[in-house]
Structure 1
Amino acid sequence: MSQISDVKLQLRAETKQKFSDMARMLSAPDQCEHMKFIIKAAGFKQGIEIGVFTGYSALCLAEGMPLDGKLLALDVSDEYTNIAKKYWQLAGVNDKIELRLGNAVEILDNLIADKRNLESFDFGFIDADKPNYPNYFERLNKLIKKGGIIMIDNIIWGGLVASEDHRQNDPKTKSIYETSQLALNNKEFDVHTIMIGDGLLIAHKKI
């Protein structure tokens, strides 16, 4: 794993100080560095992140993008993303990130309604409300170009996706499992799951 910058360490520390137990929503550092590496190696310029929280993963994603890259970051919280904006500025990536607050499904639907956006993004990263994971995947599929990737966080969900009882009776676990099956059963994608953080599914859209 590459060395974590002081700015990112400060972001994680402030998140834990201010939000205590909610800080568990931070993506794992090694996972974020891995995503950054993929984006940089692939030369991806246009991306969408669904679920920003305090901006750690978006910061890493933006670091992997070129100077003319643009990450569209979707969230619903002013409180969380105000912290994100501070650290994006400190890290020098704020010009690469466009934050939009609101219902992510509606924002994605509005993007899809403009046909110029179809298959125009290089990558998407899903790390938001679990019940909407299938909705996010289906919409990103329309927006991601061939050769691009969709990355999905928490795909292991603490191991609960392996439990048939949880898959049937827990809405979050059920949605995460359904999303993994959507990806695996979609012939447009090659799918790989990495046992890093809480599990990262990477779906590569075939050329």
Structure 2
Amino acid sequence: MAPTQEEQQNEAGRHQEVGHKSLLQSDALYQYILETSVYPKEPEPMKELRELTARHPWNIMTTSADEGQFLNMILKLINAKNTMEIGVYTGYSLLATALALPEDGKILAMDINRENYELGLPVIQKAGVAHKIDFKEGPALPVLDQMIESGTYHGTFDFIFVDADKDNYLNYHERLIELVKVGGLIGYDNTLWNGSVVAPPDAPLRKYVRFYRDYVLELNRALASDRRVEICQLPVGDGITLCRRIS
């Protein structure tokens, strides 16, 4: 039986939910995943920050709820303790990380906008994990260069998550591969980029999607041929590629 007009409107409405970057063709299936797998055990601080972020005008920048759950699980599986995040926004993925780390775990978090981070900071503080976070405002590349130059951070990070300026992903990668330990993981977000990676050249795309698409395609090609890592690209959220350093 064909869906009613009301059902079609509800389906379209779900697509506007904050963090709805799912690549699934069916919004109903995505909603099923959220309601049966993500929301029932979502920590209260994660729910609070997710709902707070939903009211922000740039909420499309946030990590999706299912991806937040995925990151939290991965960090626990690899027993991560020393991590880094490039691109913080209001801190949803940062909170997912902080909740997964042990009490003495640490996150070096970098973003060019402290104001957005401070929107979510009260929730992070209330969750009791703010002491794990070292936030630095400003571009990440100079900080990474300083860390490499110092020689004391090579191979010290268990996990690094990148959700920032796509045109610099390859620049980040060449530095982060030095900083993550052998056997450690780097996660690059948005590597399927709204599905545009397989869109024909004349496809109607939003301006920002079209602008960054070539950078995402270049990154994907580079990671696939990089012998220093083994990779796994997953259709979680807007696509995430995990890179495990092997040499």
TM-score by length of 1: 0.93
Q: What CA distance in whole angstroms lies between the structure 2 residues aligned with 1:42 and 1:102?
A: 29
Residue 101, structure 1, aligned to residue 137, structure 2: yes
- What letter corresponds to residue 198 of structure 1 in structure 2? D
SS at match of 2:230: strand
- What letter corresponds to residue 69 of structure 1 in structure 2? G
Q: Which residue of 2 aligns with 1:146?
A: 182
Q: Which residue of 1 aligns with 2:195?
A: 159
Contact 1:161–1:173 (8 Å) recurs in 2 = yes
Residue 114, structure 1, aligned to residue 150, structure 2: yes
User: Over residues 39-86 of structure 1, what are the superposed CA-to-partner deviations in whole Å (9 max), with x where a residue is unaligned?
Assistant: 111111111100000000000011111111101000011210111321
CA RMSD of aligned residues (A): 1.6
Q: State the identity %.
A: 33
Q: What CA distance in whole angstroms lies between the structure 2 residues aligned with 1:170 and 1:38?
A: 31
Q: How many aligned residue pairs are there?
A: 203
Q: What CA distance in whole angstroms lies between the structure 2 residues aligned with 1:163 and 1:129?
A: 21
Larger Rg: 2
Q: Which residue of 2 aligns with 1:193?
A: 233
Q: Which residue of 1 aligns with 2:224?
A: 184
Q: Which residue of 2 aligns with 1:15?
A: 53
Contact 1:134–1:176 (8 Å) recurs in 2 = no
- What letter corresponds to residue 27 of structure 1 in structure 2? T
Query: Which sections of structure 2, spanning at least 5 residues, go unmatched?
Result: 1-36, 203-208
Alignment of 1:50-65 (within 5 A): 50-65=86-101
SS at match of 1:58: helix
Q: What CA distance in whole angstroms lies between the structure 1 residues aligned with 2:92 and 2:154?
A: 27
User: Over residues 139-164 of structure 1, what are the superposed CA-to-partner deviations in whole Å (9 max), with x where a residue is unaligned?
Assistant: 11111010001101111111111136
How far apart are 1:90 and its partner, in Å? 1.3
SS at match of 2:187: strand
SS at match of 1:145: strand
SS at match of 2:152: helix
Query: Which sections of structure 1, spanning at least 5 residues, go unmatched?
Result: none
- What letter corresponds to residue 179 of structure 1 in structure 2? L
How far apart are 1:189 and its partner, in Å? 0.9
Residue 83, structure 1, aligned to residue 119, structure 2: yes
- What letter corresponds to residue 156 of structure 2 in structure 1? S
Q: What CA distance in whole angstroms lies between the structure 2 residues aligned with 1:158 and 1:119?
A: 32
SS at match of 1:54: coil
How far apart are 1:188 and its partner, in Å? 1.3
TM-score by length of 2: 0.78
**2:173 counterpart (95, 116, 137):** 137
